[in-house]
Structure 1
Amino acid sequence: MNIDQKSELFKLKNYGTNLKQLVEENGTCEEQIQQVSSIKHCLSTIHNLDKTNDVQTKSLRMVENRLNRSERLLILGSSKMIIEHEVKWLNIMIEHIEQILNGLEPVFTEAQKAELEWEKLSQGD
């Protein structure tokens, strides 16, 4: 991992943690959306630093999907519980990006796998 990736990853993790705290502590929608915008910027920068890593690109897309869902839920004024769940998964996927950038292969826990499977089934996938 190069210094630019480390810097952006540090920011990404902080923004993800800040978003989680804002949701848990009932921060304003504007504050939460600002964190989402900051995360989007970091993701874009990380992706542009290395477009050759397919695993990284796939995981970045998964983070972007979680981020987009989180943003939609915030804008729609969804329940706190639903937003917390999505932001929890956003942070899990950010951890996976960190593992990939450190040369590790991210692995879901059995509980996370079961939850993902349940999500797929409930969405009709």
Structure 2
Amino acid sequence: MHIAHNPEAPVCDTIDFDQFLSVDIRVGQIIQAHPFPEARKPAFKLVIDFGPVIGIKRSSAQITENYRLEDLLNRQVAAVVNFPPRQIGKFMSEVLTLGFPDASGHIVLFKPDVDVPLGSRLS
């Protein structure tokens, strides 16, 4: 899924609150991070623990410019957990890990300021 990273992009169409609630954004903790050399664009393979209700999910994340694999372990991240899985090469990405582009357009992961229970839902 490609999302515009342009801070000058126009605001999206207005949605109602029920539409917003249908996007399930949860906090998880990265428990494994691996290189993804076969990806078309530089990326890492992440394994993220979302706690007992959602469990462990995998995600491909184009974050190689701002992060080293060893710095990702045990980091809390936010992700959309109710999109359908997406095949990326031979890898099945099950959640969309969230981030924002920095001034150079490289993704910076979104995370809570303090640790929260795994699986906590954005509210």
Whose helix fraction is larger, Structure 1's or Structure 2's?
Answer: 1
Structure number having the greater strand percentage:
2
TM-score, structure 1 as length reference: 0.26
